[in-house]
A and B are shown apart, each in its own frame.
Chain A
Amino acid sequence: MNDGSPHELSAAYALDALDGDELRAYESHLAGCDRCREDVASFRETAAALAYDIQPLEPPEELERRILKAARAERPNVVPLRQRWAIPSAALGAVAAVAAIAVGVWAIHLSNSLDNERTQNRSQNAIVAILSDCTMTPATGASARVCIAPTRKAVLTVDNLEPAGPGKTYEAWVIAGKRVEPAGLFPGGAGRTYLRLTKSVPAVATVAVTREKAGGVAAPTGGILISAKVKPT
């Protein structure tokens, strides 16, 4: 390795020990040198390891707030959602969309209290987990579908259902043979509702929705508004 070789500079570059003309010259060399880029990448790992030989220090408390505030100001495109569970419909479906759903869901935190946040976050993570790997069954009666994970946990997705109204709620049911079990409540309304069913869905079953009095009931009294017949895959 002779002194004039630009390859040798990969180490100094990774240590940020080049400046001015040297730096510019090396960077233009780097642009056309695959081997150098590899060298720099691995030397960067080595250089970063040096940071661990330093006493870590707690930064002043306001720093995190300041960073988050600045970050927010740079990305005004994180739109807080108006409504619980309402998620842009473009976000549904493939595994690839799950992270986007997660972002939508987490955006809710910006405008909610801490306690709500805690429980919401937990169920939202569960919903995202189910939607990331599930089999979809379309429903009749409304724009709705059930997606069932291999664990048999399921999420019911309903679009733009007329609000259940005062003193009323929608209630989901898992029906298997003669067993009819309540599986969760939701208010309906504009936008998309994601409901994580509180009961697992067997291989042969029907997921149904009725309208009931607020607070829900133990056995359905209203007519079936939405129904999805689940078959073994």
Chain B
Amino acid sequence: MRGRRGRSEPTARELAHLSDEAVLALIARSDEQALSELYRRFSRLAYGLAFRILRDDALAQDAVQEAFLGVWRAAGRFTAERAKPSTWLLTLVHRRAVDLVRREERRRTEQLQPDSESIGSEGPDELELLSERQSIREALRKLPPEQREAIELAYYGGYTQSELAERLGQPLGTIKSRMFTGLARLRETLEESAVGQTSSS
């Protein structure tokens, strides 16, 4: 998954053919070019996510920086069987962003509908991004509204389950099981669509 293209640093481009896992292996050996390549691939996604949660440029930059530095520090301990590199990075971005939003108490415009702008350019990287986006969007659409709401408020809004219970006027147990059932369904739908794509290509 490549998040960005069109940059001209020759050294980073030399790494462009490597898999995310290979880039990470180089980062584990303190290779700055590899860190730069990972940034090229995922910084737009990471910053988009952080900004969505924090609605603030400086804080979003902070979250993205901490996430990339987290990868830099711990790449040697990353094991590919456990997760995709992109998942790891986005997990770090998300965790840092919700920490900040909770600390800053500044979050949260109430509009939590997914952004609707198009991605714009249609290079191969962008197409890949677009197809990931299509899958998750469809999967979300298939969820019962109350499960979708719980998941979206938690992930995009940075709300804890207790905050959600209060906000939605529901018992904590209800929120927990909405999240669990919703996320399990989402996982299932995404797995199915991934299998569908593999077998049709």
Contact = CB atoms under 8 A, between A and B. Distances in A.
Nearest to B10: A118
Does more than half of chain A's interface fall in helix, strand or loop, or is it mixed? Answer: helix
A56 interface: yes
Contacts of B57: 60
Measured as residues with beta carbon below 8 angstroms from the partner, the interface class of chain A is 35 or more
Nearest to A38: B82
B59 interface: no
Contacts of B19: none
Nearest to B35: A71
Interface residues of B, number: 80
Given A54-B115, A60-B57, A106 B133 contact: no
Contact of A56 (B29, B45, B139): B45
A117 B13 CA distance: 12
B29 A100 contact: yes
Interface string A11-28: 110111111001000000
Interface in B104-157: 114-115, 117, 119, 129, 132-133, 135-137, 139-140, 151-152, 154-156
| Residue of A3, A54, A75, A106 most packed against chain B (CB within 10 A) | A54
Contacts of B158: 16
Given A42-B187, A45-B83, A47-B183, A15 B65 contact: no
Contact of A50 (B95, B136, B160): B136
Contacts of A11: 176, 179-180, 182-184
Interface string A110-140: 1000100110011001000000000000000
Interface of B: 3-4, 10-11, 14, 25-26, 29-33, 35-36, 39, 43-49, 51-52, 57, 60-61, 64-65, 68-69, 72-73, 82-84, 86-87, 90-91, 93-95, 98, 102, 114-115, 117, 119, 129, 132-133, 135-137, 139-140, 151-152, 154-156, 158-162, 164, 172-173, 176-177, 179-180, 182-184, 186-187, 190
15 contacts: A8-B180, A11-B182, A16-B95, A22-B161, A45-B87, A49-B139, A50-B140, A56-B45, A57-B48, A67-B65, A68-B35, A68-B36, A74-B69, A78-B31, A103-B29
